[in-house]
Structure 1
């Protein structure tokens, strides 16, 4: 495969108002791609679209949209068709996590988490995949490589994204479409603001959005891109636990890590009061 000329593409990015989504927008605009920026926060989307259009002489279109609605892919495709926009690359970045023992989770919050992380991602992918000729990037997580107590729903949703995307990678071979599951570890974004704590990352070295997006684009630039990539050598080593241990040992080991993170967090909060 030759390197992609993004100047011939229009890339749809979900969750584009901040964090990894905004970083994907900036990096792809630098490479000349036109953009469709999708998220709920219209003011941030419009400011980013204006910034990138002016700086890189590309067309960036802000489309405020709630991807937790039923059948978001069809509705989004209809909106873009109404505007005369044809998407040729897709970055499914929208998603959020919750962190608490499952018994304590809010049912409505869980439903929205599954709707966005799983159902929304699948529906948007289905709506656009037949017209994609460039790249399809689905943002998974290192938590998708093993069960993660106290983030059971989030980890399971990202395990789904990882498996789903790797299957699409195989199905798309020979079509010219490059499919990639990107698995970041802890990253300096608004993710932990939404979760409500940084317990999930306690003791971990966080990457920047720039480092994570560079990992994805470097993988897509390869002559033979892989089906998935983990951002950061330490994070990659952490995913190996599920490859060389039994399921029982894996979940017990991860459980010990999460318990230690929670104890450290509680001690830290008590010490700062």
Structure 2
């Protein structure tokens, strides 16, 4: 501060005395190169909490993933409908929330069921889709099947961790108004696998999924701030937007039933 003030006074004094000096500066310049090249990311992409960039670890369920043409299906949900009473009526049973842990933490939190895809293709306009189909009927070990029982998804929320206009980059399920989408059973239903998350293959910086993570959360108006805190839903709480419909005609027995779901990632050439 002191040096600056003294220098200022000196300049004023010179101006008053009239000893100004004009000078013509000469410059020269050279140019150098800046270079960077990239290849698609290899290995697993960190699962994130939908609606954020927060890295999380899914627990108490499926952790398998698959990569096709540098697009990775990072997470698909298990559907656990818990323990329920038998009934002479048609019933809908809600699915228990999925569970996750924050990076470096052992505390478990609930979160709605979601599907997540990371695109590290390095290409704008990559067209990809995730479909699902139940591999077989719900069946217990003794062989009894629930022939008409189906999993139904009632609502969804789409997220992307980069693009602000999610509708410009991906689409989700086609859910009828005031109704649900039924997950078809292979060999029993004629509809075939249904698309749950699809890129729009946008070719601009604002519409591409390249370098981003997209999710479809099976909950109406999902808000990430409601999860991952002390007053979050309990680990035993259920998601009312995913239900197992069991018609009375299935004659459910007091046994444990299970089925497999096939989630398929397809990337267009």
Could you state the TM-score of these two structures normalised by the residue count of structure 2? 0.27
Which structure has the greater CA radius of gyration?
2
Greater share of strand residues, 1 or 2? 2
Higher relative contact order (CA 8 A, sep 6+): 2
